[in-house]
Amino acid sequence: MNVLKDLMDILDDVEKPSRYIGNEYNSIKKSASVRMCMIFPDLYDVGMSHFGVKILYDIINSSDFASCERSYLPWIDMQKAMIEKNISLYSYETYTPINEFDVVGFTLQYELSYPNVLRSLKLGKIPLKREERNNTDPIIIAGGPCTFNPAPMENFIDAFLIGDGEEAAIEMMRAVKRGKTRKERLALLAQINGVYVPEYNSKVEKRIIPEMKKAWAPVDQIIPYTEIVHDRGVIEIMRGCTNGCRFCQAGMIYRPIRERSYGEVFEIASGILRKTGYEELSLLSLSSADHSQINETVSLLKTLKETSLSIPSTRANAFTVELAQAINTVRKSGITIAPEAGTQRLRDVINKGITDDDIFSALKLAKDNGWKRIKLYFMIGLPTETDEDVISIGKMLDRIKKMSFSEVSATIGVFVPKPHTPFEFDEQILPDEAFRRFKLISWAKRFAKLNFTDPEKAVIEGILSRGGKEIGRIIEEAERKDLIFADWDELFNPQGWMEIFDEKGIDVESLMGQKSFKDAFPWDFVNSGISKEYLWSEHQKALRETLTPDCRNGCTGCGVCPKFGVDNIVQKRVTDEQVSHSI
């Protein structure tokens, strides 16, 4: 079946129809014996910006037996139109209803998208719960960072892929090909490293690739017609991060680091430009300024004509400014740094690894080099935080404004402790307390633009990320009550969520409260390679305000490398001469 003809009848009536038309340049139509549809459970504009989907799309489509198509959750107006015309959620390559695929995969990038997953299944006429599915339904799989606590979604997902997907994705497609029935397929999936099948497995270890092969870097990247959030070519220059910031889940679950060499990055970049026509390239990693060859990489990429470069995720030190300086030769509008906390004491608690000196010398350098606007990121509610720590955020902004930047703006979020981090034992502050702490900074509004993120959203995120199986009922009810697209401010309805927590008897305070080493967590059966003992010792060090160094400078004993028999892959610095030689 193919929904294209019906689709043509409704596209004139919806907002931004180009986000639903599919068939973009570089998308792949392929017939294969195993067909998968990968869904990013959010609007196309967001989902198309996501890099993980691009990697797996390419890898599966390069295989000789499996194909991968894509889908996204349509906006409200389109959902209504589809329901009225009885159009199922469809793939963007062949306009096939998603329930005709062998496998439907979701990427779980943020917890607030969980109800979107259920809405996608509903629009695709696939039973929500795994026990309701039979041999004619697709196998529903999920990957992405949220799967490190699969419990909240495990009523709905047949198999989770936890960790790196490059190799496991193909193994999963093969298992589906071999299995004749749903039961056989699930049993085979359960034998794959990194795969958790709730029906068969009681524990799981994350999957890891020892190095990033060049062939895995997506080059023929799909060009959207719609203007999407990140509309540019993307090269992953490094996976993992060695800073060991204690609040950061990505820093823990993506260990160890695996860097690509500058030469390889350049080859991939040239390929992307040739195949896409993109005018901008983005270097992706958790902390690009830490890449051992970032200088070499940037100077080589700058030789690419008529192409601008962007590097998200850098550190709050002078080097970040030097890097920004190297990239932006003309425009000096804004620079972003993330001190995270207002005092050195608290930055030591979270192991941020930067000092006031680092921050202010970076700012001075930015000022001297002509930057006029500064944007900063902070969190409140970090473990051990006192009122003085909070007030210090305001003081810091005051000091920065006095350096005579024309605009200082700060985003202040509420900290959500995440599974598999040293702060998984810590409490999350509730909205009343968050509002009280926000007030301690609001005097800074006189000289800085303050943007406080919603504390109620943080609570919902906290519950969805730290909850167990019982949270499945909440997610189901949230979808039923239309609490989808919760990350979109215009549709965010915190009251609706709070009512569900009440109705379903969720004890928010205890779920958000302090835990100890002895407490069992719903994600204890997921082995990220970092033991709970290590996380606990890091938690204790945090309380003592003791730093743990970057593990590039010596192993800190988290356990990931020996556990999986891998190592940090760090590139060697090279001279300018060698770089220019490689052009």
Partner 1 sequence: MNRYLIRYKRYGLLRYLSNHENMRMIERLLRRTAVSFKMTEGFHERMRMSFGQALPTGVIDRAGTFVISTEENLDEEFLRIANILAPKSFEMSAIKKVSEDFNIGTAIEGYFFSLIFRERPDLDENWKLKENGKLWIARNFVQFNSPSPRPKDHGQFLTLRDEIVWR
Tell me how far, at minimum, the Cβ of 267 lies from partner 1, in Å: 16
25: number of Cβ within 10 Å: 13
**Residue 265 near residue 235 (C-beta atoms within 8 A):** yes
Task: By CB under 8 A, name the one of 28, 32, 223, 570 that touches partner 1.
Answer: 223
**Single-letter amino acid, residue 572:** K
Cα(517)–Cα(87) distance, integer angstroms = 50
Task: By CB under 8 A, name the one of 64, 306, 432, 577 that touches partner 1.
Answer: 306
3-state DSSP assignment of residue 173: helix
Tell me how far, at minimum, the Cβ of 21 lies from partner 1, in Å: 4
- Which stretch in 37-45, 273-281, 537-545, 546-554 sits in contact with partner 1 by CB under 8 A? 273-281
Is 492 a residue that touches partner 1 (CB under 8 A)?
no
Task: By CB under 8 A, name the one of 278, 378, 425, 501 that touches partner 1.
Answer: 278
Cα(331)–Cα(360) distance, integer angstroms = 22
- Which stretch in 50-58, 110-118, 218-226, 511-519 sits in contact with partner 1 by CB under 8 A? 218-226
Sign of the four-CA dihedral 128, 133, 138, 144: positive
- Which stretch in 21-29, 45-53, 100-108, 570-578 sits in contact with partner 1 by CB under 8 A? 21-29
Q: Which pairing describes strands 280-284 and 233-236: parallel, antiparallel, or unpaired?
A: parallel
The nearer residue to partner 1, 30 or 174, going by C-beta atoms, is: 30
Tell me how far, at minimum, the Cβ of 19 lies from partner 1, in Å: 9
Tell me how far, at minimum, the Cβ of 409 lies from partner 1, in Å: 21
Q: What does the DSSP 8-state code read for residue 231?
A: -
Residue 349, C-beta contacts closer than 8 angstroms, at least 6 positions apart: 246, 341, 382, 383, 384, 542, 543, 545
The nearer residue to partner 1, 97 or 381, going by C-beta atoms, is: 97
Tell me how far, at minimum, the Cβ of 10 lies from partner 1, in Å: 11
| Residue 489: Cβ-neighbour burial (10 angstroms; 0-12, 13-18, 19+) | exposed
Task: By CB under 8 A, name the one of 183, 213, 274, 364 that touches partner 1.
Answer: 274
Is 370 a residue that touches partner 1 (CB under 8 A)?
no
- Which stretch in 189-197, 275-283, 295-303, 541-549 sits in contact with partner 1 by CB under 8 A? 275-283
Cα(258)–Cα(238) distance, integer angstroms = 5
Cα(53)–Cα(57) distance, integer angstroms = 6
Task: By CB under 8 A, name the one of 63, 201, 226, 336 that touches partner 1.
Answer: 226
| Residue 66: Cβ-neighbour burial (10 angstroms; 0-12, 13-18, 19+) | buried
- Which stretch in 12-20, 200-208, 314-322, 456-464 sits in contact with partner 1 by CB under 8 A? 12-20
297: part of which helix (H) or strand (E)? helix 294-301
Task: By CB under 8 A, name the one of 308, 369, 493, 531 that touches partner 1.
Answer: 308
Q: Which two tokens stand for residue 5?
A: 């003809």
Cα(319)–Cα(322) distance, integer angstroms = 5
Is 455 a residue that touches partner 1 (CB under 8 A)?
no
The nearer residue to partner 1, 159 or 222, going by C-beta atoms, is: 222
159: number of Cβ within 10 Å: 29
403: part of which helix (H) or strand (E)? none
The nearer residue to partner 1, 80 or 122, going by C-beta atoms, is: 80
Letters for 310-349 (x = contact with partner 1 by CB under 8 A, - = none) are --------------------xx------------------
Is 227 a residue that touches partner 1 (CB under 8 A)?
yes
Task: By CB under 8 A, name the one of 2, 11, 33, 517 that touches partner 1.
Answer: 11
Tell me how far, at minimum, the Cβ of 30 lies from partner 1, in Å: 15
The nearer residue to partner 1, 310 or 336, going by C-beta atoms, is: 310
The nearer residue to partner 1, 274 or 504, going by C-beta atoms, is: 274
How many CA atoms within 13 Å lie on the side-chain side of 409? 12
Sign of the four-CA dihedral 498, 503, 508, 511: negative
Task: By CB under 8 A, name the one of 277, 312, 370, 513 that touches partner 1.
Answer: 277
Q: Which two tokens stand for residue 388?
A: 């003085």
Is 23 a residue that touches partner 1 (CB under 8 A)?
yes
3-state DSSP assignment of residue 466: helix
169: number of Cβ within 10 Å: 27
Task: Give the interface size with partner 1 as a residue count (CB under 8 A).
Answer: 28
Is 18 a residue that touches partner 1 (CB under 8 A)?
yes
Q: What does the DSSP 8-state code read for residue 221?
A: -
Binding site for partner 1 (CB under 8 A): 8, 11-12, 16-18, 20-25, 223, 225-227, 273-279, 305-306, 308, 330-331
